Amino acid sequence: MGSGNRIEAALEVALARAESRSGPPLLAQALRHAVFPGGQRIRPRLCLSVAMACGDDMPVVTDAAAAAIELLHCASLVHDDLPTFDNADTRRGKPTIHKAFNEPLAVLAGDALIVMAFQTLAKSVAAAPDRLAPLVEIYSEAVGAPNGICAGQAWESEPTIDLVEYQRAKTGALFAAATEAGAAAAGHPHQAWRVLGEALGEAYQIADDLRDVAADPEQLGKPVGQDATLGRPNAVQALGLKGAVGRLKRLVSAAVESIPECPGRAPLQAAILEETGHFLPKELAQQAA
């Protein structure tokens, strides 16, 4: 099975657990709306690529780790889109949850997706109980306080914002968790994999800033110019278009070099170069070249 299919199948298993005649139907629909169809599934694909480079000796655990990080990412998107944050009408080319359903269901769907991520991990590790605690710890640190994505978002409520911590928590944390969890799912020591995730997270953040400044909103599936509108920091503002693209390229090189020794190091390096090639929409990459 291709890695994309493995991820979709693992997400389907997780979502199906939330669907029962005894549960409220609209919440189940909202959960499905939040997860399918996906975006690029960058984080779970990164997690899976690392696990495969480490031997992927327990594919059920790898699949759960990949699904869990995507569920956490989807949860963050649903809550970030709420009226009290970005007040976004569209996401991945569809109405956001609070627009398609209502605001209470958007809050609850985000909550339920966070819970589902940890449930997915717990359901998968019967055969390898020693791998559960590291995975839960990696993901809880990446999502919660003081340095996870919730903390990243919370910096926007501070009178003065620590830009380094803000970016690291808001985007870097989940990328670092993707690489660490991939290694942990395959039973490898995970801390050495953090550098790779952090570098890719920063590269992705710069790509996201570039898209926000210069992409076609229709192709992107969400509005552009949001950082300026909402007064959020943006790398293009700080470095200029060419400067930002240059930094992105240096981060990708550093990421590829940082990969720890493992059975599948060379194919992983190739996969990461391929993957980061899609960080920018084609036109934008050409425009910045």
Where would I find the H helices in the chain? Answer: 3-17, 25-35, 42-53, 59-80, 97-100, 103-124, 132-143, 149-154, 163-167, 173-185, 194-214, 217-220, 226-230, 235-258, 265-276, 282-288
In terms of Cα–Cα distance, which of 173, 199, 179 is closest to 276? Answer: 199
d(Cα 71, Cα 245) in Å, to the nearest integer? Answer: 29
Measured from the CB atom, the residue of 162 and 283 that comes closer to a copy of itself is 162
Binding flag, residue 60, a copy of itself (CB under 8 A): no
Binding flag, residue 112, a copy of itself (CB under 8 A): yes
Please state the closest distance from residue 95 (CB atom) to a copy of itself, in A: 16
204, β-bridge pairs: none
Show contacts with a copy of itself in window 3-22 (CB under 8 A). 18-20, 22
DSSP state of 95: E
Binding flag, residue 230, a copy of itself (CB under 8 A): no
Binding flag, residue 146, a copy of itself (CB under 8 A): yes
d(Cα 188, Cα 232) in Å, to the nearest integer? Answer: 38
Binding flag, residue 110, a copy of itself (CB under 8 A): yes
Among 4, 12, 13, 28, binds a copy of itself (CB under 8 A): 28
d(Cα 31, Cα 108) in Å, to the nearest integer? Answer: 9
Binding flag, residue 119, a copy of itself (CB under 8 A): yes
Measured from the CB atom, the residue of 165 and 275 that comes closer to a copy of itself is 165
Show contacts with a copy of itself in window 66-85 (CB under 8 A). 75, 79, 82, 84-85
In one-letter notation, the amino acid at residue 95 is P
In terms of Cα–Cα distance, which of 196, 208, 194, 189 is closest to 255? Answer: 196
Please state the closest distance from residue 259 (CB atom) to a copy of itself, in A: 26
In one-letter notation, the amino acid at residue 72 is L
Please state the closest distance from residue 262 (CB atom) to a copy of itself, in A: 24
Inter-residue contact 46 to 182 (CB < 8 Å) = yes
Measured from the CB atom, the residue of 53 and 61 that comes closer to a copy of itself is 61
95, β-bridge pairs: 90
Among 1, 9, 23, 253, binds a copy of itself (CB under 8 A): 23
Please state the closest distance from residue 107 (CB atom) to a copy of itself, in A: 6
Q: Which stretch binds a copy of itself (CB under 8 A): 119-127, 175-183, 213-221, 234-242?
A: 119-127
d(Cα 214, Cα 216) in Å, to the nearest integer? Answer: 7
Binding flag, residue 115, a copy of itself (CB under 8 A): yes
d(Cα 214, Cα 234) in Å, to the nearest integer? Answer: 12
Rule CB under 8 A: which residues touch a copy of itself? 18-20, 22-28, 31, 75, 79, 82, 84-85, 101-105, 107-108, 110-112, 114-116, 118-119, 121-123, 125-126, 129-130, 132-133, 136-137, 139-141, 143-148, 150-151, 153-158, 162, 165, 169
